A and B are shown apart, each in its own frame.
Chain A
Amino acid sequence: MIKQIVDFFGDEGYARSRRRLFYLVLVLIVVADFLVPREHAEYLWDRLPGWSAVYGFGSCVLLIFVSKFLGHQGGLMRREDYYD
């Protein structure tokens, strides 16, 4: 069974169903975020349904591009023989 699950995520043949499942999950999560009760809201964003989705996506994009910017333009990334 483990092999089948791993294959589902690896094989090219399942690409379509994989994508569908992924988008379905995303929609369900956003819907669920609107439905769950929020009795204890400490911060402004705790009251906004869908905030965590937006923040997650934003963080991910920000991290990728800020890091790559630092790596390429900031000079953090060097050739592998840099210290040799």
Chain B
Amino acid sequence: MIDFVHPALLFILGAVPIPFLKGSVRKAYLVLVPALAIVAVLAMEPGNYGAGRFIGQEILLAKVDKLSIVFATVFSVMALIGMVYALHLTRAGQHVAAFVYVGSALGVVFAGDYLTLYLFWESMAFASAYLVFAQGGKRAIGAAFRYLMVHITGGVALLGGIVLHGLAASSLLFGPIAGAMDTGAYLILVGFLLNAAVPPLNAWLTDAYPEATVTGAVFMSAFTTKTAVYVLARAFPGMELLVWLGAAMALYGVIYAVLENDCRRLLAYHIVSQVGYMVAGIGIGTEMAVNGATSHAFAHILYKALLFMGAGAVIEVTGRRKLTELGGLYKAMPLTVALYMVGAFAISAFPFFSGFVTKSMVIAAAGQDHRALVVLALTMASSGTFLHTGLKLPYYMFFGPDRKLEAREPPRNMLVAMGIAAVLCIAIGVFPGPLYALLPYPVVFEPYTGAHVAESLGLLMFTALGFVLFLRALDPENTISIDTDWFYRKGARAFLWLAEKPLARYEKAVSNVSDTVALPLLHGTAHAGLRADLNGVDAAVNGLARAILVGGGALRRLQTGVVTHYALAMIAGVIAAIAVFTVVWQ
């Protein structure tokens, strides 16, 4: 009996046969692998697996403890739901990317050292970017490129942090970062915060997720930010900065959601808001707060996927995504409405839905820790959550002005996937026991007290009253909102303008001067430079230049060729690299 099967391997190696399978065999296979992963996670025992040495460093492929098991459980359940939702797709590309994406997320969750973590971290970025590329069209490809660029930048920060931290701590084992925060620790933190979409590093999420394919966005909503929550909980519990970032982020997402017209972008802003609760919980750092953050991540993955599946179903059958163009669909798709609403009640933390037993744990932990402002901010964000995902979005998407759209219920596999998620959202809300038992610390929290139920209902239903009274003020408008992606979207343009206009002119002027005046001077300096150059700078520069040349070449091909093919090739490369890595060092 093997006591540990790495679920990441199941997915990543399991992705290889997908393109060669056809029809119902492929469908069965796509469901079987996540099912096996669930079994593997449920069967695993805490401990260290796959220890070894690599380039003189200690490597620990899998460190299994309660915290990693909670995340792995919900990741593999989510993989099953997401695969069922995507079963109707005929092309293999997205399935392969989703498998690699899920596998890499699981790889991060079990990573016992920073090198393993980094490897899976990057492969997650590439695999998930494919899910945006696969949508095709100018907007999606633009968004996917920005997504990739931002994540690569975050990855570089993370790698730099890992190197510095590794040198300072003389160990690459992944665990709580002890002692004073140095540059390395801050760089690691920045890398993690970027993936957790903490403002101002949040714009990649709300930029790319709504442009992804219908089924791809469901996967994306679940894995990237929650892996980041996991690594934050592992490395930075009890960090004061995170409390305030989390509370601010919970409100940030809610404020932007008011302005949003694109249904999935509105939901994406609510990921930012909900992850804020988790980040705040980790920052508070008490046992109850970390429990709250972990359980909220668990519940969040399921209800957020359900919401994305509901919005995706609407996009799938109507082809429209803007609230100004949707409305009156409830007649044609009542089941979708009902299932979506289960997710909406769960995210809003209605009693007997999952959010109620998890979100309130974070808020209660903030209360116990005597943080009145955090309690008030998070409670206000709860009101905003119901206002948008529970009232505004369903009203303008399903009810509201009838746009006479042709619609029907989505394919059955989509409904089944939504059904599974909905059942879990309710089951967790009604029987929180099993989830509480999974959490890293013993739970001393009783969500179902009279005061708590009455309080929550008061908050939510009077939010509804505000919605009813000020409905007109909430009418969606045909606009987009400026977020921090403005800096690189407009900034890149300014840079190009700078390169084309003033710099070109400057260069001309300089070359005129240099011909007559500066040339002799430069010759002299060049000779001196040459000597310094030959004595050592050369090797380093050559290496760097070659790396840039290779990278630039790859990028140029990406820009001109069929992008999806190249992205697929990259993913294949990542699979191969990981396969080699795991086989050799297991």
Q: How far is the CA of A14 from the CA of B477 in the complex (A)?
A: 28
Whether the Cβ atoms of B480 and A25 lie closer than 8 Å is no
**Is B335 engaged at the interface, CB distance under 8 Å to the other chain?**
yes
Q: Which residues of A contact B256 (CB under 8 A)?
A: 67, 76
Chain B 239-271, CB-CB to A under 8 Å as 1, else 0, gives 000000000000000111011000000000000
Whether the Cβ atoms of B337 and A38 lie closer than 8 Å is no
Whether the Cβ atoms of B338 and A33 lie closer than 8 Å is no
**Is B372 engaged at the interface, CB distance under 8 Å to the other chain?**
yes
- Our pick among A36, A59, A77, A78 for the contact of B454 (Cβ within 8 Å) is A36
Whether the Cβ atoms of B461 and A60 lie closer than 8 Å is no
Give the number of residues in A that approach B within 8 Å (Cβ atoms): 49
Whether the Cβ atoms of A75 and B482 lie closer than 8 Å is yes
Whether the Cβ atoms of A68 and B338 lie closer than 8 Å is no
> Known contacts A9-B330, A63-B258, A77-B477: does B338 contact A30 (CB below 8 Å)?
no
**Is B555 engaged at the interface, CB distance under 8 Å to the other chain?**
no
Whether the Cβ atoms of B473 and A64 lie closer than 8 Å is yes
Q: Which residues of A contact B473 (CB under 8 A)?
A: 64-65, 68
Whether the Cβ atoms of B335 and A2 lie closer than 8 Å is yes
Name the distance in Å between B143's Cβ and chain A's nearest Cβ: 10
Contact residues, B338-366 vs A (CB, 8 A):
338
Whether the Cβ atoms of B462 and A53 lie closer than 8 Å is yes
> Known contacts A38-B451, A68-B259, A76-B481: does B458 contact A52 (CB below 8 Å)?
yes
- Our pick among B258, B368, B450, B490 for the contact of A36 (Cβ within 8 Å) is B450
Chain B 352-394, CB-CB to A under 8 Å as 1, else 0, gives 0000000000000001100010011001100110010000000
Q: Which residues of B contact A78 (CB under 8 A)?
A: 479-482
Q: Which residues of A contact B482 (CB under 8 A)?
A: 75-78, 82
- Our pick among A33, A64, A82 for the contact of B458 (Cβ within 8 Å) is A33
- Our pick among B258, B398, B459 for the contact of A52 (Cβ within 8 Å) is B459
Whether the Cβ atoms of A64 and B480 lie closer than 8 Å is no
Q: How far is the CA of A6 from the CA of B478 in the complex (A)?
A: 28
> Known contacts A9-B399, A65-B473: does B458 contact A59 (CB below 8 Å)?
no
Chain B interface extent, by class: 35 or more
Q: Which residues of B contact A46 (CB under 8 A)?
A: 451
Whether the Cβ atoms of B335 and A56 lie closer than 8 Å is no
Q: Which residue of B lies closest to A23 (CB)?
A: B465
Name the distance in Å between A7's Cβ and chain B's nearest Cβ: 7
Name the distance in Å between B394's Cβ and chain A's nearest Cβ: 9
Whether the Cβ atoms of B367 and A29 lie closer than 8 Å is no
Q: Which residues of A contact B255 (CB under 8 A)?
A: 63, 66-67, 70
Q: Which residue of B lies closest to A82 (CB)?
A: B480
Whether the Cβ atoms of B330 and A56 lie closer than 8 Å is no
Q: Which residue of A lies closest to B335 (CB)?
A: A2
Name the distance in Å between A65's Cβ and chain B's nearest Cβ: 7
Whether the Cβ atoms of A54 and B462 lie closer than 8 Å is yes
> Known contacts A70-B255, A75-B482, A80-B478: does B330 contact A59 (CB below 8 Å)?
no
Name the distance in Å between B276's Cβ and chain A's nearest Cβ: 14
Chain B 291-335, CB-CB to A under 8 Å as 1, else 0, gives 000000000000000000000000000000000000000110011
- Our pick among B372, B398, B466 for the contact of A43 (Cβ within 8 Å) is B372
- Our pick among B258, B334, B463 for the contact of A57 (Cβ within 8 Å) is B463
Q: Which residues of B contact A62 (CB under 8 A)?
A: 380
Q: Which residue of A lies closest to B399 (CB)?
A: A10
Name the distance in Å between B288's Cβ and chain A's nearest Cβ: 13
- Our pick among B379, B464, B477, B489 for the contact of A22 (Cβ within 8 Å) is B464
**Is B177 engaged at the interface, CB distance under 8 Å to the other chain?**
no
Whether the Cβ atoms of A60 and B463 lie closer than 8 Å is yes
Name the distance in Å between A69's Cβ and chain B's nearest Cβ: 10
Name the distance in Å between A1's Cβ and chain B's nearest Cβ: 10
Q: How far is the CA of A68 from the CA of B254 in the complex (A)?
A: 12
Q: Which residues of B contact A20 (CB under 8 A)?
A: none
Q: Which residues of A contact B384 (CB under 8 A)?
A: 59-60, 63
Q: How far is the CA of A42 from the CA of B374 in the complex (A)?
A: 14
Whether the Cβ atoms of A29 and B454 lie closer than 8 Å is yes
- Our pick among B258, B458, B477 for the contact of A56 (Cβ within 8 Å) is B458
Whether the Cβ atoms of A63 and B337 lie closer than 8 Å is no
**Is A79 engaged at the interface, CB distance under 8 Å to the other chain?**
yes
Whether the Cβ atoms of B468 and A22 lie closer than 8 Å is yes
**Is B467 engaged at the interface, CB distance under 8 Å to the other chain?**
yes
> Known contacts A29-B461, A56-B459: does B450 contact A3 (CB below 8 Å)?
no
**Is B456 engaged at the interface, CB distance under 8 Å to the other chain?**
yes
Whether the Cβ atoms of A71 and B459 lie closer than 8 Å is no
Name the distance in Å between B326's Cβ and chain A's nearest Cβ: 14
**Is B460 engaged at the interface, CB distance under 8 Å to the other chain?**
yes
- Our pick among A10, A36, A82 for the contact of B398 (Cβ within 8 Å) is A10
Q: Which residue of A lies closest to B455 (CB)?
A: A52
Q: How far is the CA of A38 from the CA of B464 in the complex (A)?
A: 25
Chain A 1-29, CB-CB to B under 8 Å as 1, else 0, gives 01101110110000000000010011001
Whether the Cβ atoms of A25 and B461 lie closer than 8 Å is yes
**Is B537 engaged at the interface, CB distance under 8 Å to the other chain?**
no
Whether the Cβ atoms of A60 and B467 lie closer than 8 Å is yes
**Is B470 engaged at the interface, CB distance under 8 Å to the other chain?**
yes
Q: How far is the CA of A2 from the CA of B339 in the complex (A)?
A: 10
**Is B494 engaged at the interface, CB distance under 8 Å to the other chain?**
no
Q: Which residues of B contact A59 (CB under 8 A)?
A: 379-380, 383-384, 459, 463
- Our pick among A3, A64, A76 for the contact of B474 (Cβ within 8 Å) is A64
* Sample of 16 A–B contacts (CB below 8 Å): A10-B330, A29-B461, A30-B458, A32-B450, A33-B458, A42-B367, A43-B367, A59-B379, A60-B462, A60-B463, A60-B465, A60-B467, A63-B258, A63-B383, A71-B259, A82-B480
- A-B contact sample (5 more), CB < 8 A, given A26-B465, A53-B459, A63-B384: A52-B458, A52-B459, A55-B383, A57-B463, A60-B467
- Residues of A with Cβ closer than 8 Å to B? 2-3, 5-7, 9-10, 22, 25-26, 29-30, 32-33, 36-38, 40, 42-43, 46, 50-57, 59-68, 70-71, 75-80, 82-83
